């Protein structure tokens, strides 16, 4: 899922301090699971904003709404009838949701209420870590199901590098060496022969380096 | 024991402090409460194992928000005691009462009362029109 983290409330207040009516818009998908942008967080942020503005002596109308998804036209259409009641929107969906809302409602200022971080997994309660960078050419088949692009700080395809010490990466003693994980996994699978194979240079044009990406599925288009 | 504690305190009973949601606390302040405190079992004694730790984490989270929006995180406190410790319960109540007296009323209390009055007036007008 897409993992996001809270934005300091002071930063959000600074974005919207000049508006008289604000819609706090949540999303029921990834940001709900990582507990930054769901219905409950919409309630918390709206409550905090109300208290802030009341204390400032202003009468600001703060609306609350949580959509099933903010990255689909169908769900974003649900607010078309009442979005005009608000001067601005604070979207606490991921960056995709914020942008899609802004694209759909051209004349409405939309501000981000979270910091979108990465595609990751929920390792434990309250702990999320990166697992995929969306490089566009998945190589998990050759690396025992552990991604050298997202788990190795250098994203090298034939590792580990000289910075790997006691299974940890040189950038932090808390970060496991991605290639150590790959080797351990290949050993467990009895596939160490695969480790001896040299991986060819990766085509990075399918990654972000190739510019904004798009998927067009002719079989699905209407 | 028949111990006394300040009458300004309104008790809301919950099955465990772990039941108290961050939103419950925020809404209390939004509605004009001058202070909120949670009294849970002693750490390590939770019948549901981690309910009071969950409450403690939520209190910390909300204190930061209250500080950020100018209400003041010191108006929110988590206490722990044994369920049979009446004197401690009364002491915590006195302590919180004194803290809130010193802090003064919730900064948005006036605005909340004004809002409620406007709403009541509007409802009365609407009722009269019917």
Domains and CATH numbers, chain A: 2-118 (3.40.50.2300), 133-210 (no CATH)
From chain B, the residues in CB contact with A17 under 8 A are none
CB-count burial class (<10 Å; 0-12, 13-18, 19+) for A194:
middle
> At A54, is the pLDDT very low, low, confident or very high (cuts 50, 70, 90)?
very high
Q: Which of B26, B70, B71 sits opposite A44 (nearest CB)?
A: B26
Please give the average per-residue pLDDT across B68-95, as a whole number: 95
Question: For A9-18, B90-99, B119-128, which range has the lowest pLDDT when averaged over its residues?
Answer: B119-128
Rounded to whole angstroms, the Cα distance separating A1 from A71 reads 13
Torsion of CA B32, B26, A20, A114, to 10 degrees: 160
CB contacts < 8 A (A, B):
47
What's phi and psi for B55, nearest 5 deg?
Answer: -60, -40
Rounded to whole angstroms, the Cα distance separating A119 from A98 reads 17
Locate the chain A residue with the closest alpha carbon to B24. A44
Please give the average per-residue pLDDT across A107-116, as a whole number: 97
> At B86, is the pLDDT very low, low, confident or very high (cuts 50, 70, 90)?
very high
From chain A, the residues in CB contact with B69 under 8 A are 9, 13, 48-49, 51-52, 55
Mark yes or no for CB contact A10/B68 under 8 Å: yes
A212 touches chain B (CB under 8 A): no
CA angle in degrees (0–180, nearest 5) for A99-A27-B23: 130
Please give the average per-residue pLDDT across A47-67, as a whole number: 94
Q: How confident is the prediction for chain A on average, in pLDDT? A: 95
From chain A, the residues in CB contact with B27 under 8 A are 47
From chain A, the residues in CB contact with B107 under 8 A are 55
Query: What count of other Cβ atoms lies within 10 Å of the Cβ of residue A46?
Result: 21
Q: Which A residues, 50 through 89, put their C-beta within 8 Å of a C-beta on chain B?
A: 50-52, 54-55, 57
| Residue A198: DSSP 8-state | P
Contact A51, A92 (CB under 8 A): no
Q: Quote the tokens at residue A77.
A: 């259409």
Q: What is the pLDDT of residues B20-49, one digit of tens each?
A: 999 999 999 999 999 999 999 999 999 999
From chain B, the residues in CB contact with A54 under 8 A are 108, 111-112
Short-list A137, A154, A150, CA closest to A210: A137
As for the ipTM of the complex, it is 0.90
Mark yes or no for CB contact B26/A52 under 8 Å: no
A interface test, pick of B21, B22, B26, B33 with most A CB neighbours within 10 Å: B26
E strands, chain B, are: 36-41, 76-81
From chain B, the residues in CB contact with A60 under 8 A are none
* Location of structure tokens 């994203």: A155
Rounded to whole angstroms, the Cα distance separating A116 from B19 reads 29
CA A136 → CA A14, A132, A139, B107, B111, distances in Å? Answer: 37, 10, 9, 53, 54
């Amino acid at each position: 899922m897409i993992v996001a983290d809270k934005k300091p409330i002071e930063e959000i207040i600074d974005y919207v301090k000049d508006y008289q009516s604000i819609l706090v818009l949540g999303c029921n998908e990834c940001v709900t699971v990582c507990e930054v942008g769901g219905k409950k967080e919409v309630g918390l942020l709206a409550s905090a904003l109300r208290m802030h503005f009341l204390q400032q002596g202003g009468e600001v109308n703060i609306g609350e709404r949580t959509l099933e998804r903010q990255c689909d036209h169908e769900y974003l259409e649900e607010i078309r009838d009442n979005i005009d009641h608000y001067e601005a929107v604070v979207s606490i969906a991921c960056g995709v949701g914020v942008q899609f809302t802004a694209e759909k409602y051209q004349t409405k200022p939309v501000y981000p209420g979270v910091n979108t971080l990465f595609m990751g997994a929920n390792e434990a309660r309250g702990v999320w870590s990166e697992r995929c960078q969306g490089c566009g050419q998945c190589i998990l088949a050759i690396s025992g199901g552990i991604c050298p692009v997202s788990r190795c700080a250098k994203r090298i395809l034939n590792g580990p590098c000289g910075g790997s010490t006691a299974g940890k990466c040189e950038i932090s003693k808390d970060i496991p060496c991605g290639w150590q994980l790959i080797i351990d996994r290949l050993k467990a699978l009895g596939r160490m022969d695969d480790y001896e194979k040299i991986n060819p240079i990766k085509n990075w044009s399918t990654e972000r380096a190739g510019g904004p990406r798009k998927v067009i599925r002719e079989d699905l288009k209407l | 024991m028949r111990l006394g504690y300040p009458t300004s305190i309104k008790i809301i009973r919950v099955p465990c402090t772990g039941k108290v949601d961050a939103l419950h606390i925020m809404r209390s302040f939004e509605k004009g409460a001058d202070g909120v405190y949670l009294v849970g079992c002693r750490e390590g004694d939770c019948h549901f194992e981690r309910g009071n730790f969950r409450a403690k984490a939520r209190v910390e989270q909300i204190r930061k928000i209250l500080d950020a929006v100018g209400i003041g995180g010191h108006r929110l406190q988590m206490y722990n005691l044994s369920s049979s410790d009446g004197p401690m319960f009364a002491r915590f109540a006195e302590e919180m009462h004194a803290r809130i007296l010193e802090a003064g009323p919730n900064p948005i209390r006036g605005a909340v009362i004004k809002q409620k009055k406007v709403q009541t007036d509007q409802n009365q007008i609407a009722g009269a029109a019917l």
